[in-house]
Amino acid sequence: MPYTHSPVFVPAQRVEKYNYAIRNIVSHAKMQEQQGKEVTYLNIGDPVLYGFQPPEELIEATVLALRTGNNGYSPSSGKKEAVEAIAEDARCRGIDTTPDNIIVTSGASEAADLVCTAMLNPGDEVLCPSPGYPLYSAIIAKLNARELPYKLDPENSWLPDPEDIERRITSRTKILVVINPNNPTGELYPLNVLRSLADIARRHRLLIISDEVYHKLVYEEVHIPLASLAEDDVAIITIDSLSKNLMAPGWRIGWLAITNSVLIPDVRQAFIKLADARLCAPTAPQFAIKAALNPGKNYIESVMKRLSAQREITVKMLNALPGISCNNPKGAFYVMGQIQLDRFPFHTDEEFVLRLLQEKQILFVHGSGFGTDPSQGYFRAVYLPDASTLNRVYTDLGDFIRKFQ
Ligand SMILES: Cc1ncc(COP(=O)(O)O)c(C=O)c1O
């Protein structure tokens, strides 16, 4: 009997709930491309696709590392110089941690996976923002744990409501995930909200994952690391990476930093065990971490200048369209748009996104891919493309929706 297509080989059930809308939706765009059409991808937060690059000195450090023979494994928690630089940078930003509480990972994604894998038994619960970045839902599903979505309120700058979070906590709740600046909303959390989140974690003995992969990409306001507010009675894992802050997502370099590891000695050991078994993060770009943590001021300024102009075009043009609105995000490079579905012949956010793709070859991600109700008509748009592309996209979107009025 040949093996192929044997019903004996079916995927494990855990994969059924493993969804990642940001990439899943690309198959629809590929179909457009097969028909010879050119698609404008506003679905994925990859700055390099739109002409951003990491600072030159980081590239040089990585190339030099490769050229000078650093092509072997690194220690599983990361190179000594890298973890020392990360700990020092964290301390300068008010995060209490030490080099032996840092683990360099293959992007922030692996850090999130490692923390959840070390912490969660089947049935354990994780509080996740909704809408939220789907990586967390996917990892939780894979571990047969339970996601407890807590609402981010669109009427209140997409901020979480501490009371809503607290109401959801049960004896099985282990982790509170905070994403700040947030993906998909691009919002930044103020001090009072962060303090309430830390306080909830303290009172209910939750571990906090604070995902801060966009912390350098903030506009008018200042990012406050959640761990900088921690007293000595809350364990916080700050997750960071070079992917967005330094525009190097393909290098797959991220890390986790533990604050108050004395509260979780066994979990810390479990992180190390897991990190050992997967050997290490990519070695060569670890040579760039030190430089990455102190990029020239001009680099971040020029990135923010470009992003700021692109944000302005996006917010202005979307809000000028009949039946469409969006927030004015304070960080990252995403806006949450909303189309009033009852004014159009679409029943769901995904239907709108797919029709727009078919007719104008513009790809957004439907809000329900991040957890909003499909009938609310939310969609996430990336504003990484340059001004002329954004102008064209939103002019085309205007033509598309006016057709229905
Ligand atoms: C909130 C958030 N966390 C983590 C990641 C993954 O980052 P990395 O490329 O470092 O794995 C992303 C990527 O989009 C993200 O938006």
Number of separate domains in the chain: 2
Q: Ligand 1 centre and the CA of 213: distance in Å?
A: 6
Same-domain status, 165 and 239: yes
Q: Residue 382 Cα, ligand 1 centroid: separation in angstroms?
A: 14
| Whether residue 274 sits in one domain with residue 384 | no
Looking at the fold, whether 80 and 187 belong to one and the same domain comes out as yes
Last residue of a domain, one of 241, 273, 293: 293
Which pLDDT score, from 0 to 100, does residue 2 have? 58
Same domain, 253 and 191: yes
Please report the pLDDT score of residue 24 as a whole number.
Answer: 75
**d(C-alpha 73, C-alpha 62), whole Å:** 15
Report how far ligand 1's centroid is from the alpha carbon of 214 (Å).
9
Would 335 be classed as within a structural domain? yes
Spans of the chain below 50 pLDDT? none
Angle among Cα 140, 96, 149 to the nearest 5 degrees reads: 25
The answer to whether residues 205 and 247 belong to one domain is yes
Q: Where are the alpha helices (DSSP H) in 258-382?
A: 265-277, 289-293, 297-319, 349-360
User: What rounded mean pLDDT belongs to the chain?
Assistant: 94
- β-partners of residue 104 are 255
Do 153 and 159 contact (CB within 8 A), yes or no? yes
Task: State the distance from the centre of ligand 1 to the C-alpha of 109, rounded, in angstroms.
Answer: 6
Which pLDDT score, from 0 to 100, does residue 25 have? 78
Are 260 and 363 contained in the same domain? no
What is the domain-level CATH number for residue 252? 3.40.640.10
Closest listed residue to residue 186, CA positions, set 318, 290, 294: 318
The confidence score (pLDDT) of residue 328 equals 96
Show the domain range for 211: 56-293
Q: Euclidean distance between the first and final Cα of the chain, in Å? A: 59
Regarding whether 127 and 73 lie in a shared domain, the answer is yes
Q: Which of 231, 237, 239 is nearest to 261 (CA)?
A: 237
Please report the pLDDT score of residue 144 as a whole number.
Answer: 93
- Boundary of a domain, candidates 233, 262, 293: 293
Check residue 297 and give its pLDDT. Answer: 78
8 A C-beta contact, residue 215 and residue 73: no
What per-residue confidence (pLDDT) applies to 382?
Answer: 97
CA dist 2 → 7, 12, 269, 363 (Å): 12, 21, 45, 41
Same domain, 18 and 35: yes
Write out pLDDT tens, residues 6-57: 667 888 887 777 766 666 778 889 998 899 999 999 998 999 999 999 999 9
Q: Are 83 and 200 in a shared domain? A: yes
Predicted pLDDT at 258: 98
Task: Flag whether 360 is in a domain.
Answer: yes
Establish whether residue 337 lines the binding site of ligand 1, counting it when its CB lies within 6 angstroms of any ligand atom.
Answer: no
pLDDT at 22: 67
In a domain, 191, yes or no: yes
Predicted pLDDT at 10 = 83
49 and 60 fall within a common domain: no
The SS3 assignment for 325 reads strand
Supply the pLDDT for residue 3: 60
| Torsion angle (degrees, nearest 10) of CA 117, 122, 128, 132 | 80
Q: Are 191 and 212 within one domain?
A: yes
- The CATH number of the domain holding residue 337 is 3.90.1150.10
Do 249 and 47 form a contact (C-beta atoms < 8 A)? yes
Residues 146-171: tens digit of each pLDDT? 999 999 999 999 999 999 999 999 99
Q: How many CB atoms lie within 10 A of CB 79?
A: 20
Boundary-marking domain end, from 273, 293, 313: 293
The reply to whether ligand 1 has any atom less than 6 angstroms from the CB of 377 is: no
The answer to whether the CB of 371 is under 6 A from ligand 1 is: no
Q: What is the pTM of this model?
A: 0.94
Paired with 331 in beta bridges are 218
1 in a domain, yes or no?
Answer: no
Domain identity same for 104 and 152: yes
Ligand 1 pocket, 22 CB below 6 A?
A: no
